[in-house]
Amino acid sequence: MRTKLREVHSNTEADAAAMLEVENRMKSLSETNSRNKIQLEAMKQRLATVTEDKYNNEEKVIKLSEELEKKCRQAADLQRKCGEQHATLSAVENTAKQQLQSLAHQSEAAIDMAQSKLLHTSLSLKEFHKFVGLLAHALLSSIHQARLLQRQHKYKREKLAPQGDTLAPSMKRAKNLASDLLNMSSSDIDDLLSVCDDMDDSVKLDKDMDDDCRVDKEWTKKWQKVIQSKEDFAMTMVKLFMQKVDERCQIIMKLGTT
């Protein structure tokens, strides 16, 4: 009986140990199963992500393929157009060469004619400037002579004006005193005074002529500046020259009335 009990006890312990081992295995398998489930879920998520990426990449590949085909068609179309443009350009170049050759011959003749006209115009312009200069010089010379004649006539009339009793008493006393001191007659004193008057007239005439020369030089500078300007100068030149013409006419008119 004891032996059976021992066997039963031994069997019970063995069964308990076996059960414990089974439980441990079950627990280990359960933990392994949980880990596998977690890994499986992770793998499913990765698979879903990879699948989505694959789908997106396939769509991109399709789009890129379509774009590539479109670009290839465009490139082919551009090559065709380039060929057409190259042919057109060659034709245009040939036509342009022919036209340029024709224009070159025409241009040479036109340049020769233009140079001839330019030379003629330059000579005409020089002659025009020379003419204006000579005209201005002749006009100033004529006015100078008229001024000189007017002033000489003026001084002559002043000298020929009767003085007689019109002399101031102080002048008479001065002449008498000079006659006594110099032991000269009254006529000699008058001659001496006449010489002095002539000298005074000459000084006055020189001063007046210098003033006139300055005015004439300013006038000359004006018309020279005007004729060199790039603006229209015809009316301005006419006004400047008419000033001198009017001045000469006025002098002549005054001489004619004296």
The pLDDT value recorded for residue 171 is: 52
Other CB atoms within 10 A of residue 224 CB: 13
Other CB atoms within 10 A of residue 197 CB: 13
The pLDDT value recorded for residue 215 is: 87
Phi, psi for residue 138 in degrees, rounded to 5:
-65, -40
Q: Would you say residue 95 lies in a domain?
A: no
Q: Would you say residue 150 lies in a domain?
A: yes
Domain count, the chain: 1
The pLDDT value recorded for residue 106 is: 83
Q: Would you say residue 206 lies in a domain?
A: yes
Q: Would you say residue 55 lies in a domain?
A: no
The pLDDT value recorded for residue 195 is: 45
Residues of the chain with pLDDT under 50: 162-168, 189, 192-193, 195-200
**DSSP 8-state symbol, 166:** G
Cβ atoms of 240 and 226 closer than 8 Å: yes
Which pair of structure tokens corresponds to residue 13? 């312990």
Q: Would you say residue 125 lies in a domain?
A: yes
- Gap between the Cα atoms of 189 and 175, Å rounded: 7
Cβ atoms of 238 and 135 closer than 8 Å: no
For the stretch 65-70, contacts whose Cβ atoms lie closer than 8 Å and that sit 24 or more positions apart, written own/partner, are none
Alpha helices in the chain (DSSP H): 2-160, 169-182, 186-228, 234-257
**DSSP 8-state symbol, 188:** H
The pLDDT value recorded for residue 164 is: 44
Q: Would you say residue 57 lies in a domain?
A: no
Q: Would you say residue 215 lies in a domain?
A: yes
- For the chain, the C-alpha Rg in angstroms (whole number) is 65
Q: Would you say residue 87 lies in a domain?
A: no
Q: Which residues of 118-145 are buried (b: 16+ CB within 10 A; e: fewer)?
A: eeeeeeeeeeeeeeeeeebeebbeebee
The pLDDT value recorded for residue 206 is: 66
Residue of 244, 7, 214 whose CA lies nearest to 137: 244
Domain of residue 151: give its range: 121-257
- Gap between the Cα atoms of 27 and 78, Å rounded: 74
